[in-house]
Amino acid sequence: MNERLLDIRVRRARLQAKIDAQRNAVGVITARWERPLAVADAGLAALRFVKTHPVLIAAGAGLVFYRRGTSGLLLAGWRLWGLYRSAVSLASKFRS
C-alpha cells in the first residue's frame, strides 16, 4: 500500500510540474496578445457607439464637411446617413 501511495505522490508531483509549465506558457502567450486584443476591444466599443448614435455621428461629420450653409450641411448629413446604412447592411451580411 505504501508503494502505491508513493507512486501516486510521484505522479502527482510530475503532473503538478507539468501544470506549472503550461500555466507559464499560457501567461507568455496571453502577455503577447494583451495589447492587440485591447486595441480590438476599443475598436468594437467605437463601432458600438457609432451603431447606437448614428445621427450624432452624421451631424458631427456633416459639420466637418460644412461647405454651403444649411443646405450643404443637410446634403453632407444625408450622404453620410446613406453610407452608414450601407455599412450596417454590409456588416449584417457578414454576421449571419
Specify the residue for cell string 448629413: 77
As a dihedral over the C-alpha atoms of residue 38, residue 41, residue 46, residue 51, rounded to 10 degrees, the angle is 180
Tell me: do 63 and 40 sit in the same domain. Answer: no
Q: Clarify whether residues 94 and 64 are in a common domain.
A: yes
Number of domain units in the chain: 2
Q: What is the mean pLDDT of residues 76-89?
A: 79
What is the structure's pLDDT at 66? 65
Residues 15 and 44 in one domain: yes
* pLDDT value of residue 96: 54
Regarding whether 30 and 58 lie in a shared domain, the answer is no
Task: Examine the domain organization and report whether 38 and 10 are in the same domain.
Answer: yes
Residues 12-66: tens digit of each pLDDT: 999 999 999 999 999 999 899 888 888 888 888 888 887 887 777 777 776 666 6
The confidence score (pLDDT) of residue 91 equals 76
Q: How far apart are the first and last CA of the chain?
A: 60
Residue listed under C-alpha cell 450653409 = 69
**Same-domain status, 21 and 32:** yes
> Virtual CA dihedral for 77, 79, 80, 83, nearest 10 degrees?
160
Same domain assignment for residues 43 and 58: no
Q: What is the pLDDT of residue 43?
A: 86
* Type of residue found at 88: V
- Quote the domain boundaries for residue 88: 53-96
**1 and 46 housed in the same domain:** yes
pLDDT of 62: 66
Same domain for 39 and 1: yes
